[in-house]
A and B are shown apart, each in its own frame.
Chain A
Amino acid sequence: MAETLINLVQVTKHYRRDTIDIPVLDNIDLEIARGEFLALMGPSGSGKTTLLNLIAGIDKPNSGRVVIDGKDIAKFNEQQLAKWRARHVGFIFQLYNLIPVLSAFENVELPLLLTSLSRKKRREHVMTALSVVGLEDREHHYPRQLSGGQEQRVAIARAIVTDPSLLVADEPTGDLDAKSAEEILDLIKRLNEEFHKTIIMVTHDPRAASHAHAVLQLEKGLLSKSGGVYEVPAAHH
């Protein structure tokens, strides 16, 4: 049986807007194995991005445990979470979120600035990451000089440059044309298959979800099937 990387136990999350309490996630139990490629689907407001944020350590639950690789990150303070994210999580956003004044190389290097790596080592890591995404010849290009698909590749290189075990992607193809989207999904799939990254991807797009090993449906803060039982597209199994 595959080793469990992520274990959510009775996780509840609600937001407060003025005096109104808005429930988002309600007593979620979820187990995700190491090396899994999971798609999170559901209508807008169902809580899929919130669930992703909790797993990625950029948000905290109101109750419950978020155990990643044996550590309950819900108990971490802000400093500990920042350090943990830098080591263990790679982020891929819908709008790429590259820093416009930095070149592709500098954008990918950004997370490495938080490490004690030498300049030479950082360069090696960055060039490796850029070569994985097929953009080693674009290191000096700025985001405005790249296509959307290329920007997302640079963002993926930035996500993997620290060699994290977990990649979280929030609508990674939401802003791309069909061809670029397919290329990005193939790349993400490759990261899962060749580099054994555990990937959790939020998407509205069934075609994107079809690249995942499993699809988890969220509806009004509830998993359609709890306890780590996924709806698995037949094509992948």
Chain B
Amino acid sequence: MKFLRLIIKNVGRNKRRTVLTVLSVSVSVFLLATMQAVISALGGIGQLTGGEYRVVVRRNTSIADSMPEAYRQKIEQVPGVVAVYPSNWFGGIYKEDKPKYTFAQFYVDTKNLFDVQFELQISPEEKAAFQQERTAAVAGKKLADKYGWKLGDVIELKGAIYPLDPRLTLRGIYTGPQESVFYFHREYVEEAFGRPGKVGQYRVRLDSPGSAARVMEEIDSMFKNSAAPTKTETEAAFAASFISMLGNVKGLISGIGLVVVFTITLIGANTMAMSARERFTEVAVMKALGFRPAMILTLMLSEAVLIALAGGVLAAIAAKVIFQFVGLGDVLALFLQNFKIGSGTIALALGASALIGLVSGGIPAWNAARISIVDGLRRVA
């Protein structure tokens, strides 16, 4: 502890350089923390309660392609299938075309929605009100809270994919592991477009998770020689394929994060080397006074770790504030329901910053510890 003041004073020696180094480290560690949170969230897709009881049927070509409405009856007849509902992505604009107003919207068959998505909880009255009124909609509690929606509120969407601007009344607010989705009537859209009968995906509830493999195979075999062959997947696989439309997100983010961290480590090493060079004589004096090389090494490494840790703490706070309180994570949360800056991510941020400090300070500290006293003192004279 008695050396802490010496370490802190040396850290504050060149304030501008220290601040810039802390900021550099914090930016890189912030990216790393974000990367880790995204990767964790990607790993959690389909892990939500109930996902193991469902499979998703879509076109084998792309999730953007559609299937005939008539498939529903055939799917319902497959042994092991308990309930089915057709669902289409609407992708409308709420208020403004900005990320903070972006959320998942599906028009669905309201009759079976809560039978298939059985983990979603809604009161019988709200469920009935939703099913009876063609312009009704339901939203997850998290979504309703975000926009301050109450039952009876009118929610207007502007069609971005379809030339339709639905005007919907919120009749129910559901709770559950996934509370960021907005559902409204398939009938509403079908009628507006003259009943084209196109379905983006069928959500299928199974009698047991063990039926999944057989049901998937049977469904795909059934439509194999049709005009619209299907690809049936588990909910987790479907979500992953949705994500895959964004490209190799994991690889991309990991790559960027690691490159930035590596670069910052090099910059940190250069900064520490500069600091050590400037103190060549001081280190020689300290050694003359009796400071051993190991002590010099420890002191200089501590400085580097302290600076990097300050960056790590700043990054953790920034990530927590930005993603949790400011809400820039909503865009990510659209696809990544589990996206959050948790304690594991914060631990990773702090660990990574400490490692940056150790690696960047290692060589300069080692060199400082090996300074010859005579050479160091001669430099002054």
CB atoms of B289 and A86 under 8 A apart: yes
- A-facing mask of B1-34, CB < 8 A → 1, else 0? 0110110011011000000000000000000000
The answer, yes or no, to whether A114 is at the interface (CB within 8 Å) is: yes
CB atoms of B374 and A114 under 8 A apart: no
CB atoms of B377 and A83 under 8 A apart: no
**Which stretch of A98-106, A188-196, A212-220, A229-237 is in the interface?**
A98-106
CB atoms of B286 and A59 under 8 A apart: no
CB atoms of B6 and A95 under 8 A apart: no
CB atoms of B288 and A58 under 8 A apart: yes
In whole angstroms, how far apart are the Cα atoms of A53 and B285 in the complex? 13
Q: Choose from A49, A82, A113, A158 the contact partner of B287 (Cβ within 8 Å).
A: A82
* Interface class of chain B by DSSP: helix
In whole angstroms, how far apart are the Cα atoms of A110 and B6 in the complex? 9
Q: Write out the residue numbers on chain B whose beta carbons fall within 8 Å of the beta carbon of A83.
A: 290, 292
The answer, yes or no, to whether A131 is at the interface (CB within 8 Å) is: no
| Residues of B in contact with A, size category | 20 to 34
Q: Write out the residue numbers on chain B whose beta carbons fall within 8 Å of the beta carbon of A49.
A: 381
Interface centre among B5, B10, B12, B374 (most CB of A within 10 A): B374
- A-facing mask of B264-308, CB < 8 A → 1, else 0? 000000000000000001100111111111010000000000000
In whole angstroms, how far apart are the Cα atoms of A56 and B284 in the complex? 14
Least distance between B3 CB and chain A CB atoms (Å): 6
The answer, yes or no, to whether B317 is at the interface (CB within 8 Å) is: no
Given A106-B9, A113-B3, A94 and B289 touching (CB < 8 A)? Answer: no
Given A99-B282, A114-B291, A53 and B380 touching (CB < 8 A)? Answer: no
The answer, yes or no, to whether B373 is at the interface (CB within 8 Å) is: yes
* Interface class of chain A by DSSP: helix
Given A99-B282, A101-B12, A85 and B290 touching (CB < 8 A)? Answer: yes
CB atoms of A93 and B3 under 8 A apart: no
CB atoms of B12 and A106 under 8 A apart: no
Q: Write out the residue numbers on chain A whose beta carbons fall within 8 Å of the beta carbon of B12.
A: 101
Given A99-B282, A111-B289, A53 and B374 touching (CB < 8 A)? Answer: yes
CB atoms of A101 and B290 under 8 A apart: no
Chain A residue nearest to B377 in the complex (CB) = A93
Given A59-B374, A95-B380, A111 and B290 touching (CB < 8 A)? Answer: yes
In whole angstroms, how far apart are the Cα atoms of A99 and B283 in the complex? 10
CB atoms of B380 and A79 under 8 A apart: no
Q: Write out the residue numbers on chain A whose beta carbons fall within 8 Å of the beta carbon of B282.
A: 97, 99
Given A85-B290, A111-B290, A93 and B285 touching (CB < 8 A)? Answer: yes
Pull 25 A–B residue pairs with CB atoms less than 8 Å apart, ordered by A.
A53-B374, A56-B288, A58-B288, A58-B374, A58-B377, A78-B293, A82-B287, A86-B290, A91-B285, A93-B285, A94-B381, A95-B381, A97-B377, A99-B282, A99-B286, A101-B10, A106-B5, A106-B6, A110-B6, A110-B286, A111-B290, A113-B3, A114-B289, A114-B290, A171-B381
The 4 closest A-B pairs by CB, nearest first: A86-B290, A58-B373, A101-B9, A97-B285
Chain B positions near chain A (C-beta within 8 angstroms): 2-3, 5-6, 9-10, 12-13, 281-282, 285-293, 295, 373-374, 377, 380-381
